[in-house]
Structure 1
Amino acid sequence: MLVLAMTACSPAAGEPLAAYLARTLPEGPGGTVVTARGDRIVHCQGFGLADRAAGTPATCDTVYDVMSITKQFTAAAILKLETMGRLRTSDPISAHLGPVPPGKRQITVHHLLTHTAGLPEALGDDYDVLSREDMLAGALASEPLSAPGERFHYSNLGYSVLAAIIEKVSGLGYERFLAEHLFAPAGMTSTGYVLPRWDRGQVAVEYDARGGSRGRPYDHPWASDGPYWNLRGNGGILSTARDMFRWHRALTGGTVLTDGAKEKLFTPYAPMPDSEESYAYGWSVLDTGDGRIAWHDGGNSWSLATYARSLNDGVMTFWVSNHAYRDSRWNLEDLEPDLTLGLLDRARSAAG
């Protein structure tokens, strides 16, 4: 996860968002940008191609892998279960997973949510074949990086453990629980692993640093119900810009979570090393001159996505590219902080 450095952004007076993007984005990558304030989209546009071989342009309805932005859905699902009375974030993981080794008996659900459980980042590559039970066994047998609650260590594995807890507590598959309790109430019809029935041409092809096609996300090894357990719960959810706006709209109101649950979701709990940010539940939180921003990015070797919300005035932006890196030509990570904060500023200005 990258650090969103606090940067002063001064939007040109009246500059249209389309003009800002045209002068900021390099020529070549494909992707989509959406900005909004409250329940209104300010700007949404695709740029470049979602599929070069087919000549398919990127649009606001193109489906992308949102990668680690998935973690906020996992965190929201845990809080939904808490409001349903099915668990508490203060519960030790043994309350839901059964006996655990002595060195991990102090780990709580809260520690997993805040990356302070002391678990390693991963057990293997995203697309390695790994079952839920083998993932849990590996997590419980792993060497602790620190004592529970002592230090922030970003852990994809910890969020896969949370996905397993969601399944065990709810009796539903991870994606099914999200679909029924988060996505459907939010009006998100194009978000998930396998439940949405996308047309294949709607899903963006990803491209590597040499410009070679890496296929669509589900062209890699997946189980019948989504990715295997190195990725499930911590990444791999597919979505569109419009659905990510709908998620923002749902979090602005009370559609999916109570006010108390949302307060927990966005509370900065764990200071992040070498950063002005702290980690909440599935979100990084940064205090700026314009108030508090909650954000998260997601990336792999090919794509990059960033999702940010201003908690004081309801401005949001989501931008994603299916070709984030090109040898000697562009690296969208270099643009990420300024582009994200610049989009928020311009959405704020355009919204009045």
Structure 2
Amino acid sequence: MRWLRVGGVLLAAMTALTACGNGDVPCPANPGPIGVFVADTMPKEGSGTVMAARGGRIAYCEGFGLADRAAGVRASCDTVYDVMSITKQFTAAAILKLEMMGKLRVTDPIGRHLRQVPADKRPITLHQLLTHTAGLAEGLGDDYDVLSRDDFLTRALASKPQSAPGTAFHYSNMGYGLLAAIVEEVSGLGYENFLAERLFAPAGMTRTGYVLPTWEPARIAVEYDDRGAAHGRPIAHPWAQDGPYWNLRGNGGMLSTARDLLRWHRALSGTGVLSATAKRKMFSPQVRVPDSHDSYGYGWVISDTDAGRIAWHDGGNSWSLANLARSLDDDVMVFWASNHAYQRGRWNLEDLMEPLTWGVACRARTAAAPTSGGAGR
């Protein structure tokens, strides 16, 4: 299960990222080091990695707790995590890249790129899939159900609509799975192969993907449930030879590291991967998210505050939680992921979204400008 939270704690955290230090939510006079703040904020039994960057350079990147308790492996800046629904921004970027290449348009109906689309799905456009307004259900089952591409397409295209295309927002992992299939149809490459060749390589990302990176299993975090029981590494669950099965393909399941996500942030700050036009589409508030003050762009939630614009997306399952946020106005980035996000009756990291994200961003803004580092450190 992968979800999107559009109100409450996470919204407050994202608003604070842009407001911090700008008068709306002032930073403490002497906020202190990021590491001390993280250690004081996170539960002692928890585990994960926190990164903050300013001006494209690392202000802080450290692990806390253990990535693998049985082996005694500590979490670090190089730990590999399942980033879950953060994957959606890669799928959206792939569609925009194909548009840059003249292979498609986001206004195309899906029948232009997929076969045997039934009448009730023919009006659906790529734009509607990208913005969760295609009227599709959330998904077809469990993340790790064995479901081939052909079976996924058959079931997705035969699924009961939640609303007429273009009329309502329904967060849909299924829709992003259809986009992944369209990437394959249009490019002639596998979904991950296209991302690796056209997005990750130009961005300098070598530790992001499903199966193409040469993973060292010890670097991949083991996930733990709310009782502390281990549920293995993501790659230990049922996967096809080329990555997760299709309930997860394109909408979640991507593995990455904090350093690689900084490389991604830096790539999106320039035009080496996506053109200025493509980025305007990605980060424009395309549709309003119900019951919130937020909008959805292409693979990102967009919060427009008095202090500036923030693009963010979270991801979660029953064990892990991750959050990536970028200020679009002053080049501050915060990423954190936990492989043990819940402890029954004791703590829930969703409740710490606001203080952790706000506090880390605040300290990154007020820290001395880094003189070295960057994605390679």
> Could you say which TM-score interval applies, normalised by the shorter chain?
over 0.9
Q: Could you tell me how far apart the structure 2 residues matched to 1:322 and 1:146 are?
A: 35
Q: Is 2:263 the counterpart of 1:246?
A: yes
Structure-2 separation of matches of 1:109 and 1:281: 10
Runs of 5+ consecutive residues of structure 2 not aligned to the other structure: 17-23, 370-377
Q: Distance between the aligned counterparts of 1:52 and 1:9, measured in 2?
A: 38
1:10 aligned onto 2:26? yes
Residue 119 (1) aligns with residue 122 (2): no
Count of residue correspondences: 352
User: 342, 345, 350: which one pairs with 2:359?
Assistant: 342
Match among 155, 163, 174 for residue 146 of structure 1: 163
Aligned-partner Cα distance in 1 for 2:301–2:335: 15
TM-score normalized by structure 2? 0.91
Percent identity over the alignment is: 67
Q: In structure 1, which of residues 75, 80, 84 is the aligned counterpart of residue 101 of structure 2?
A: 84
Is 2:28 aligned against 1:25? no
Deviations 1:164-210 (A, max 9, x none): 00000000000000000111111111000000011110110000010
Corresponding position of 1:103: 120
Which residue of 278, 286, 290 corresponds with 2:307? 290
- Tell me the equivalent position of 1:207: 224
Shift in Å, 1:103: 1.1
Q: CA RMSD in A?
A: 1.2
Q: Is the Cα contact below 8 Å between 1:31 and 1:319 reproduced in 2?
A: yes
* Aligned with residue 231 of structure 1, among 238, 244, 248: 248
CA distance in structure 1 between the partners assigned to 2:216 and 2:25 by the alignment: 39
Describe the SS at the equivalent of 1:159. helix
**Contact 1:266–1:285 (Cα < 8 Å) also in 2:** yes
Match of 1:63 in 2: 80
Deviates more, 1:282-291 or 1:149-158: 282-291
TM-superposed CA distance for 1:351, in Å, is 5.6
Q: What corresponds to 2:153 in structure 1? A: 136
**1:263 aligned to which of 270, 277, 280:** 280
TM-score of the pair, normalised by structure 1: 0.98
1:274 paired with 2:291, answer yes
Runs of 4+ in 1 over 4 A off after TM superposition: none
Counterpart contact for 1:35–1:347, Cα < 8 Å: yes
Whichever residue aligns with residue 223 of structure 1, its letter is: A
State how far apart, in whole Å, the 2-side matches of 1:138 and 1:340 are: 39
Q: In structure 2, do the counterparts of structure 1 residues 178 and 92 end up closer, same or farther at CA, with 3 Å as the change threshold?
A: same
Question: Mean alpha-carbon deviation: is it higher for 57-66 or for 94-103?
Answer: 94-103
- 170-179 vs 96-105, greater mean Cα deviation: 96-105
3-state secondary structure, aligned to 1:248: helix
Report the AA paired with residue 343 of structure 1: V
Question: Which residue type is aligned with residue 150 of structure 1?
Answer: T
Residue of 196, 200, 205 corresponding to 1:183: 200
Q: Post-superposition shift, 1:21?
A: 1.0
Whole-angstrom CA distance in 1 between matches of 2:339 and 2:361: 21
Q: Is the 8 A contact 1:37 1:351 kept in 2?
A: no
Unaligned runs of 5+ in 1: none
